[in-house]
Structure 1
């Protein structure tokens, strides 16, 4: 069943921006995530349209695929910074041990240290 609740291809009701229901946007329009899956980014192009769903509580902007540009690869310095951040978030401040997961922020230390202190 096709709902026309948010369907506004001319953009009259939604501030001049063409609006479509979820899964009913025309071909050639992609979300940021869909472009990223194909190795593209919107670049500096304007928003072409939007989709709206869940009673108007959720929306996503759409961009034209033909105007999208290839994503730039991360530099070595950026990759080093990301790895450094990962190590910092996975290292317990109390015992200094590095884990393969993020240390819970609400505790600020690994679960073994939290359980040892509460026992």
Structure 2
């Protein structure tokens, strides 16, 4: 019965089907231009880069500013030791932010 089914399909249809599949595969092949901007990078690099830009940018500046403000409030209230610790933490965070900016400048990848 298998040979009977094979005999019924003309060879021209099989050739046409192979040609159509090859044409479709050729038209739908992946091009480097279709990929993301980061063609050589991993898929999650763009997302991680955006998160890093947000955390190093406005979020870090707001946190450091609030740290300095709270240390000033603590100093005026009279808790000098806690204010000094909080101020030292703010200065360390600012130094870390400068280090991150420097490393990003030196090695942008």
State the TM-score, normalized to the length of structure 2.
Answer: 0.25
Task: Say which one has the larger Rg.
Answer: 2
Q: Which has the higher helix share?
A: 2
